[in-house]
Structure 1
Amino acid sequence: MDMPHRLSTPRIAPLEPDAWDAVLRQAMLGNRPAEMGAADAPVFNIFKTLANHPKLAQAFAAWGGQVLFRSTLDARTREMAILRVGWRARATYEWHHHLAIGRDHAGMGAADFEKCKAGPVAGSDADDDVLLRAVDELMDDHCISDATWAALARRFSPQQLMDLVFAVGQYNMVSMALNSFGVQLEDEYKVGSAG
């Protein structure tokens, strides 16, 4: 892996799904979209960790589902933004999970992943550079500049602009949680992951 975990062990121990109550299980695992794997697929460590706080986990599942699965952004745009956040936040777990989503569900390849690492080219008005510049501005200043907003508004609807800001905010928050809680990357995401 090119991005080591900040913590080598969890600070909050993952709670296995057989210890969850039925309400939490339904909220966290019910009707899982393809991006999260089949209904009988292993449960990710992020969900096992959040299960230590059932009310928070249930709210997170509803909101996270909105941002990830019901966004008005196309999958590639959404994943470019999320991957840029994950890379800048040095969130190993986030980065590797979204590499897989980008590759398997958004048609992304190695050049896209490298672009997410490198960030925007200064002065470029190419779509990817404007998008990544918006992510960087949100992370650095918590506000998209007028110039970047104007460039984005030529490409995206108001709803898409809102979804972009909320995606960056959501995954910045998720990255903080993953890093601080010490959520460990599952073995299948360590082996052969691009990027």
Structure 2
Amino acid sequence: MRLPDLTPAELGQAQLELRERIVGGPRGSGPQHFPLVREDGSLTGPFGVMLHEPALGAPLQELGSAIRYASGLDARTREIAILAVAAATGSAFEAYAHERVGRAVGLTEDEIAALADGSFTSADPRERAAYDFCRHLFDDGGHLDDDSYAAYADALGTTTMTELIVLVGYYRTLAQLLDVFDVGAPEEEQPAQ
């Protein structure tokens, strides 16, 4: 373990305030598709990492909360995009967490498997465009020629494009934090190799 799990008794004031914003906000008050808090009171996944640096963790968690709970992305499109990032970055924790959220918002097992292996498609042209746009951000570094920009703007609108760009950047940041600090999915939840 590169960073220790911090229990509430080990937290300073800024860390306690951040923990309360995470657990007392929409993440902690809504349906729990994966554990946010362990039995000892420490936080799971990226939230445990955020507690180590509350000056950065607080705005980071606020951005994540805005993406998940305040953006105009519908739940399926949001989870498609998050799982696309999890697959592109190899983030075991984000795949573990958001496969569960994805099922809750209506993604099928076949869709989840296709998101994991990069073969996702959808009969819904907006979902397909959102997935393709997210893949483009990874595969092509985000650069769009004028024709591609016009096609995505027509299919998604610039507001959705902006939301997806921010989502991809946020979840890419989380994936990197989780990778560097070696935070994976809980062992009992990892698929057999």
| Counterpart position of 1:56 | 56
Tell me, yes or no, if structure 1 residue 11 matches structure 2 residue 7: no
Q: Percent identity?
A: 24
Aligned residues: 181
How many Å separate the matches in 2 of 1:148 and 1:51? 40
Change (3 A) 1:190 1:34: farther
| Counterpart position of 2:69 | 69
Contact 1:79–1:98 (8 Å) recurs in 2: yes
Contact 2:87–2:115 (8 Å) recurs in 1: yes
Secondary structure (helix, strand or coil) at the match of 2:155 reads coil
| Counterpart position of 1:184 | 184
| Counterpart position of 2:113 | 114
Tell me, yes or no, if structure 1 residue 23 matches structure 2 residue 17: yes
Tell me, yes or no, if structure 1 residue 93 matches structure 2 residue 93: yes
How many Å separate the matches in 2 of 1:60 and 1:142? 22
Q: What's the offset of the Cα at 1:41?
A: 5.2
Moved more, 18-27 or 55-64: 18-27
Higher relative contact order (CA 8 A, sep 6+): 1
RMSD across aligned positions (CA): 3.0
How many Å separate the matches in 2 of 1:96 and 1:186? 8
Structure 2 gaps of 5+ residues are: none
TM-score in terms of structure 2 length: 0.78
Counterparts in 2 of 1:132-143, with a 5 A limit? Answer: 132-140=131-139, 141-143=141-143
Moved more, 49-58 or 30-39: 30-39
| Counterpart position of 1:4 | none
Question: Could you give the per-residue CA deviations for residues 137-188 of structure 1, whole angstroms, max 9, x where no partner exists?
Answer: 2113133454443333233232222101111111111111111111132356
How many Å separate the matches in 2 of 1:153 and 1:40? 36
Moved more, 11-20 or 46-55: 11-20
Moved more, 78-87 or 10-19: 10-19
How many Å separate the matches in 2 of 1:26 and 1:34? 15
Structure 1 gaps of 5+ residues are: 1-9
Contact 1:133–1:148 (8 Å) recurs in 2: no
Question: Could you give the per-residue CA deviations for residues 103-146 of structure 1, whole angstroms, max 9, x where no partner exists?
Answer: 12x21111211221243579x99544432221122113133454
| Counterpart position of 1:6 | none
Contact 1:130–1:148 (8 Å) recurs in 2: no
Moved more, 79-88 or 31-40: 31-40
Question: Could you give the per-residue CA deviations for residues 8-50 of structure 1, whole angstroms, max 9, x where no partner exists?
Answer: xx32222123322332222222223425569995432322222
